[in-house]
A and B are shown apart, each in its own frame.
Chain A
Amino acid sequence: MVQRLAQAAKIGIGLWMAGVAIATFLVVPQYEGLGDAGRIVIVHVPTAWVSVVAFTISAIFSGLYLWRRRERDDHIAVAAAEAGLLFTLLATITGMIFSQVAWGIFWNWDPRQTSIFVLLLIYAALFALRAAIDDIDRRRQLSAVYSLFAFVTMPFLFFIAPRIADSTLHPNCAFIQGSNCDGIVLEVGKVGLIGDQKVQLLGLERKGNLLVAEVKVSTPGLQREAILYPSLDLVDGGMADRPEFPGSRFQLGLEEYNEATGAVRLNMEAPGTNLLENRRTLYVFLAANLGFTALLFWMLQVRSLVLDLQWAIAQRGRVTYG
């Protein structure tokens, strides 16, 4: 009975994920400024979420192994770390594709990209460590201890480091509450940094109801620079013209003007910031999270079973006492 339910659940995962794949293309609408590239969020965020779950499971079972010394705990911990690494790689690759569409470059050492790269290195080192130790008990003990230490770095690298960085291009405001999305306040002649763009306010000019800013933008380390003219409607206080940064789909917005100080607030408007406000996108996004999580547990079960069998076959024929 349990076996039949398990088989039905696996078929359910297959159908559910097929439904998510179809809905990603045929139900989720296009987004202004992003077009079809916005659909990648349906894969990118759930894979990142699932890798967090996998690394957490790996740490829990590493702790259990150190406590109970059962091989099964070690096998689950290893299977979870492998799955975590795989899903982190998927999140990185989908993020790079999005980055190419939105920022005009696959990789620019953005704080989010750098932190995930460090996390990949940390967990890749776990497998290097396991491969380097021949003694099975020592290998299990050391990798369990290493896995616990690696897990301590995970929340910092996944959540904290990109959030405290002012210069990230990752659209944090779309998904992460509390991110610094306030832009920068500049007076004429002053220089600041929005995302990875160096911004200098060259001048302000009033044209009827509009306040037009002349802003020089450049990417540090690159030759590319441009003069952009974002504007603010002084009557209704809303942004008027929002020019795009050179080679990117991000726009420069003039959000506020302080008459007393002569300073303006400039901000980067990320395409897809309100992606999940659309009901259809939200439901497909939630379904994808659920499907990927179920898939993770199935993968964990299969992989840990394979490791159990490898261990059982290696032990076959050996005389055991007690």
Chain B
Amino acid sequence: MDNAAIFVATAAVLSVWIAIFVYLWRIDTTARMLQRELRREREQAETALPKAEVSRVRSTDEADEPVERRS
């Protein structure tokens, strides 16, 4: 291969590699942004929803007693 041809081949391979690198970088960045967004959304959903935990189930013979609630 003469000098010009080898430089052309180098430039072609470098172009392909740069395209692959940019493609990977963009997917990586977009995926991370999406991951952060999903995390934030989940955290907001967790704080916005009212929480209740049932600690005792009322039996039929204590029907008049109030149920203990924690939130």
Contact = CB atoms under 8 A, between A and B. Distances in A.
A87 to B, nearest CB: 13
A302 B17 contact: no
Nearest first, the 9 A-B pairs at minimum CB distance are A25-B10, A14-B21, A21-B13, A36-B1, A305-B31, A302-B28, A25-B6, A306-B31, A21-B14
A310 to B, nearest CB: 10
Q: Is the interface of A mostly helix, strand, loop or mixed?
A: helix
A22 B32 CA distance: 31
Contacts of A17: 17, 21
A18 B28 contact: no
A299 B24 CA distance: 8
A306 B28 CA distance: 9
Q: Is the interface of B mostly helix, strand, loop or mixed?
A: helix
B14 A26 contact: no
B38 interface: yes
Contacts, number: 50
B35 A309 contact: yes
B10 A313 contact: no
B9 A302 contact: no
A18 B17 contact: yes
Interface of A: 10, 13-14, 17-18, 21-22, 24-26, 35-36, 298-299, 301-302, 305-306, 308-309, 312-313, 316
A310 B28 CA distance: 14
Contacts of A22: 10, 14
B24 A302 contact: yes
B31 A302 contact: yes
B24 A18 contact: no
Interface residues of B, number: 20
22 contacts: A13-B21, A17-B21, A18-B14, A18-B17, A21-B10, A21-B17, A22-B10, A25-B6, A25-B7, A25-B9, A25-B10, A26-B6, A298-B28, A299-B24, A302-B27, A302-B28, A305-B35, A306-B27, A309-B34, A309-B35, A316-B38, A316-B41
Contacts of B10: 21-22, 25-26
Given A10-B25, A18-B18, A312 B1 contact: no
Contacts of A306: 27, 31
A298 B6 contact: no
Nearest to B31: A305
Contacts of B7: 25
A313 B17 contact: no
A22 B17 CA distance: 11
A17 B19 CA distance: 12
A2 B32 CA distance: 14
A35 B9 CA distance: 15
Interface in B1-43: 1, 6-7, 9-10, 13-14, 17-18, 21, 24-25, 27-28, 31-32, 34-35, 38, 41
